[in-house]
Amino acid sequence: MAVPKILLYYSFKPVPDTDAVKLWQRDLCEGLGLRGRIIISKHGINGTVGGDINAVKTYLKKTKEYFGKMDAKWSDGTGFDSEGFSLDFPKLSVKARDELVAFGAPDEVQVGSHGVIGGGKHLKPAQVHELVAERGEEVVFFDGRNKFEAEIGRFKNAVVPDVETTHDFVNELESGKYDHLKDKPIVTYCTGGIRCEVLSSLMINRGFSEVYQIDGGIVRYGETFGDEGLWEGSLYVFDGRKTIDFSEGAKKIAKCAVCGTSTSWMNNCLDASCRAQLPSCEGCADAVWCEAHSATADPRSAGTSKTNDQLSKATSNA
């Protein structure tokens, strides 16, 4: 019986021929019946794939033969479609790009045989707690994700930069907003760890003196401590699941943008041209409009009796 699994992984290792690796990865995934998203750059590989557990295991084994040591994390998939493909991904996407994570600084990031050069010190989840126990409120948790991801889950009292995409981080760091943190112990965190591999090095290059990163990111922290540690809420993920909870007792820290109900779910703005995501409860999923498009929203097309004025106010207060 097929068992649906999702693999989240990355490896920083110099890749001399990204196009050749891209073609090999596509052929490998197609042959194994896998779907997902894979990015290859001169710095290494970053991906998430879904399929039957045996096929995913074979994929990981074959990919490790080229890249060596990899940071890999497993989770349960939703299921399979009628053709046997993962329901969590609409297709297979394999691309070669300048960066594994698009910070807009491909030439600043340096990668050697052991990974990113000059990045923050890795801390295992238990070591994060040890650091907090030793340094107390001096420790700053710094979110390395897009701002909307933190709406539904983040570390307690974390700094959440005002960024819509990773491209915004360099300007955000150079804005002066966080200069008062440059001498403090900073723990960067992101979903699986790859964004912080790069972000922590960018921060160190800009004068932050004591920068750490959580080994394996939020996923590994949640696997270790569930909701009994310093994490609050749900984890946003970029696949069909949308969110992950680490226990049945996970807090719902977001408020629905329409009705204000506590929620752990995110939905896209209903405007087809918009990529904004907002917290929403299940009952308001067909009434979610971002602030920019709420003024032109048609309540009839959204399947709701709420007026545009109500939608605008709810969204602007989110």
Cβ–Cβ < 8 Å for 295, 284: no
Write the burial class of residue 104 (CB in 10 Å: 0-12 exposed, 13-18 middle, 19+ buried): middle
CB 116 within 8 A of CB 14: no
Task: Evaluate whether 208 touches 216 at the Cβ level (below 8 Å).
Answer: no
- Which of 190, 196, 284, 290 is catalytic? The answer is 190
Structure tokens at 69: 């040591």
Contact 13, 67 (CB under 8 A): yes
Give 95's strand partners. Answer: 39
Distant-in-sequence, close-in-space partners of 146: CB < 8 Å, separation ≥ 6:
163, 164, 165, 166
- Listed in order, strand segments (DSSP E) in the chain are 4-12, 35-41, 44-52, 71-76, 92-96, 111-112, 115-116, 121-123, 140-143, 153-155, 185-189, 210-214, 231-233, 235-236, 243-244, 254-255, 262-263, 266-268, 277-279
Q: Is 256 a catalytic residue?
A: no
Q: Are 109 and 201 in contact (CB under 8 A)?
A: yes
| ∠ CA 188-48-220, rounded to 5° | 40
User: In the chain, count of helices (H) and strands (E)?
Assistant: 9, 19
- Nearest-10 crossing angle of helices 125-135, 217-225: 80
CB atoms within 10 A of CB 220: 17
| Residues labelled catalytic | 190
